[in-house]
């Protein structure tokens, strides 16, 4: 009888140990799969906020058509997405925003590789393309939705922006605002990559708005 009890005890311990090994192995495999998926997403999805590979910054500087194009040609910029910063999702559409009756600004989300282009380089291009002293828009684009702003995600970014401003010879009447980002809504597909989709329309707008001449005159200051 004792032998039978001993054999049963050994069997129970063996089964329990095997279950523990199998469960632990499955857990590790699950963790490995999860890690692999995260890495895969980081490699494929560049339209995301800060991670180990990329950084992002949200910039409002008038009509987003011009600015999206400007950053798409910068070495180290992974993507430039047109959208609307702040206020509500229900009003984040071009039809309502173009009336000037919402609290959105036309904004571009710039995702970049900090190993190839710095935060300061991003701001150089930003100020190269804008008139930072215009309080009611940019060039021929007037009203609140076209006013300039640099949106920061945390105090580290805020301090870097302020340091940049202090290191450059801006006048006291700087109109560009520094605002903490609360929300960002991607613009309609027709507004993405506008310069590539409708190059003729874009060229006419870029020239006719007066921004092209300003950019050419301002080039030596930032580039």
- DSSP helix/strand/coil, 12: helix
Per the listing, tokens 């010879």 go with 169
**Which residues have C-beta within 8 Å of that of residue 121, sequence separation ≥ 6?**
74, 76
Residue ranges with strand state E in 48-143? 55-61, 77-85, 105-112, 137-138, 141-142
Q: 81, 172, 60, 181: which is closest to 126 by C-alpha?
A: 60
Query: What are the structure tokens assigned to 124, written together?
Result: 């150089």
Tokens linked to 215: 């950019």
User: For residues 116 and 76, is the Cβ–Cβ distance under 8 A?
Assistant: yes
Q: Which of 60, 63, 117, 181 is catalytic?
A: 63
Does residue 63 have an active-site annotation?
Answer: yes
- The pairing of beta strand 105-112 with beta strand 148-152: unpaired
Annotated catalytic residues are: 63
């Amino acid at each position: 009888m004792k032998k039978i009890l001993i054999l049963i005890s050994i069997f129970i311990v063996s089964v329990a140990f095997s279950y523990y090994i199998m469960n632990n192995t499955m857990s590790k495999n699950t963790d490995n799969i999860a890690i692999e998926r995260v890495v895969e997403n980081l490699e494929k999805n560049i339209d995301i906020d800060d991670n180990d590979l990329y950084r992002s910054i949200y910039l409002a500087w008038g009509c987003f058509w011009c600015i999206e194009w400007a950053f798409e040609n910068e070495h180290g910029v992974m993507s430039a997405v047109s959208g609307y910063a702040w206020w509500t999702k229900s009003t984040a559409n071009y039809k309502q925003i173009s009336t000037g009756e919402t609290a959105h600004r036309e904004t571009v989300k710039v995702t970049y590789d900090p190993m190839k282009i710095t935060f300061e380089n991003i701001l150089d291009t930003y100020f190269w393309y804008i008139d930072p002293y215009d309080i009611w828009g940019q060039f021929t684009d007037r009203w609140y939705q076209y006013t300039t702003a640099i949106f920061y995600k945390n105090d580290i970014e805020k301090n870097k922006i302020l340091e940049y401003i202090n290191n450059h010879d801006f006048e006291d009447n700087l109109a560009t605002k520094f605002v903490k980002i609360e929300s960002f809504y991607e613009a309609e597909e027709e507004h993405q990559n506008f310069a590539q989709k409708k190059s003729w329309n874009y060229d006419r707008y870029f020239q006719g708005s007066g921004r092209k001449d300003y950019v050419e005159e301002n080039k030596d200051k930032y580039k």
